[in-house]
């Protein structure tokens, strides 16, 4: 549960653009946040709330990739994955310029805020960063959801597959799992699960839960559940799904890692 603290802040982007933001996502350390527009990715610093760097696609790239859709951060905040409308994943590297800062506070003489304060730079100065597109991956299907899982990226596509991609964006070792091959049951204690009919069914929304080692998922037909590997691997033979019973109108999901809770949003 979250509580509002203070008055809301309105941040005006200094870059002229006619594109409304599609989404905002903070990095795992909560020091940066990404603002995604249809054809532009911007990185902001949290405190102070200032724009650091922005990347805008060329017209040629827009025609090939389609508009931006979703973002996901790598756990160490060095890479951002962006999905596009035409089924591409774009990998952006966030490069830090050491000992260089875009913004530094200026205090009057005699102010108690001294530059000699420990961790002054890290806490009060906005760093200088570069955003560079390093890798492009074509999944040849509409992308519905993407989630970071340690050193890998899990991507759900509209053709009913789950893709396991390395964060370097390379296809070597890439795994694609058909949801039709994943057994589902009413609990993890069942010895056997049934392979339900997943034709024309795909994952609409998912979120990784590190403490439960699995994914809470919402399917496009309204069913919801949890998919977890039964061993250290991530293959169809090692995955098992559990249904949330009597839920047929799910739309979205959020997880709480600390308390190991899953919350599903429903149309009712």
Whether the bond into 147 is cis, omega within 30 of 0:
no
Kind of pairing, strands 184-185 and 239-243? Answer: parallel
Average pLDDT of span 181-210: 78
Q: Is residue 262 part of a domain?
A: yes
**CB 88, CB 142: distance < 8 Å:** no
Q: Check residue 183 and give its pLDDT.
A: 85
CA 70 to chain CA centroid, nearest Å? 7
Same domain, 175 and 121: no
Closest Cα partner for 144 from 199, 207, 65? 207
The model's pLDDT over 144-191, given as tens digits with 9 standing for 90+, comes to 999 998 788 999 999 999 998 988 876 555 678 888 888 888 876 665
Judge whether residue 196 has pLDDT over 70: no
φ, ψ of residue 228 in degrees (nearest 5): -140, 145
Same domain, 237 and 203: yes
Q: Check residue 177 and give its pLDDT.
A: 87
For 62, the token pair is 């827009």
For 122, the token pair is 């890290």
Measured distance CA(117)–CA(5) in Å, rounded? 27
Same domain, 172 and 133: no
Same domain, 167 and 127: no
Same domain, 185 and 84: no
Judge whether residue 5 has pLDDT over 80: no
The model's pLDDT over 108-143, given as tens digits with 9 standing for 90+, comes to 776 665 555 655 556 677 888 899 999 999 999 999
For 187, the token pair is 């609990």
Same domain, 90 and 205: no
Measured distance CA(78)–CA(27) in Å, rounded? 10
Q: Is residue 84 part of a domain?
A: yes
Same domain, 190 and 94: no
Measured distance CA(164)–CA(171) in Å, rounded? 10
Same domain, 116 and 167: no
Residue 153 CB neighbour total at 10 angstroms:
22
Q: Which domain holds residue 74?
A: 8-138
Q: Check residue 91 and give its pLDDT.
A: 96
Of the pLDDT bands very low, low, confident and very high (cuts 50, 70, 90), residue 7 is confident
Q: Is residue 150 part of a domain?
A: no
Measured distance CA(96)–CA(54) in Å, rounded? 14
**CB 45, CB 76: distance < 8 Å:** no
Same domain, 210 and 119: no
Among 82, 104, 138, where does a domain finish?
A: 138
Q: Is residue 155 part of a domain?
A: no
Q: Is residue 242 part of a domain?
A: yes
The model's pLDDT over 38-97, given as tens digits with 9 standing for 90+, comes to 999 999 998 888 899 999 999 999 999 999 999 999 999 999 999 999 999 999 999 887
Q: Check residue 229 and give its pLDDT.
A: 81
**CB 144, CB 155: distance < 8 Å:** no
Number of domains the chain is built from: 2
**CB 248, CB 222: distance < 8 Å:** yes
Same domain, 129 and 167: no
Same domain, 121 and 86: yes
Average pLDDT of span 196-208: 84
Same domain, 164 and 133: no
Q: Is residue 154 part of a domain?
A: no
């Amino acid at each position: 549960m979250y509580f509002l603290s203070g008055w809301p802040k309105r941040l005006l982007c200094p870059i002229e653009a006619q594109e409304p933001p599609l989404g905002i996502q903070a990095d795992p350390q909560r020091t940066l946040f990404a603002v995604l527009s249809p054809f532009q990715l911007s990185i902001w610093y949290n405190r102070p709330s200032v724009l650091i760097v922005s990347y805008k696609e060329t017209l040629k790239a827009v025609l090939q990739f389609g508009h931006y859709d979703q973002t996901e951060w790598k756990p160490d905040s060095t890479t951002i994955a962006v999905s596009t409308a035409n089924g591409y994943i774009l990998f952006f590297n966030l490069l830090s310029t050491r000992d260089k800062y875009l913004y530094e506070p200026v205090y009057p003489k005699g102010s108690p805020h001294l530059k000699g304060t420990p961790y002054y730079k890290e806490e009060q100065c906005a760093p200088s960063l570069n955003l560079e597109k390093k890798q492009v991956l074509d999944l040849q299907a509409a992308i519905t959801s993407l989630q970071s899982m340690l050193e890998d990226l899990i991507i759900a596509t509209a053709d009913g597959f789950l893709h396991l991609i390395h964060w370097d964006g390379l296809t070597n070792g890439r795994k694609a799992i058909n949801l039709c091959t994943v057994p589902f049951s009413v609990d993890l204690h069942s010895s056997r699960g049934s392979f339900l009919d997943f034709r024309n069914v795909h994952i609409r929304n998912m979120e990784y839960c590190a403490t439960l080692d699995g994914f809470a998922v919402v399917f496009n037909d309204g069913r919801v559940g949890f998919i977890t590997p039964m061993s250290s691997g991530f293959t169809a033979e090692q995955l098992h799904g559990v249904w949330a019973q009597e839920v047929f109108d799910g739309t979205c999901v959020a997880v709480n890692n600390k308390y190991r809770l899953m919350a599903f949003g429903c149309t009712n």
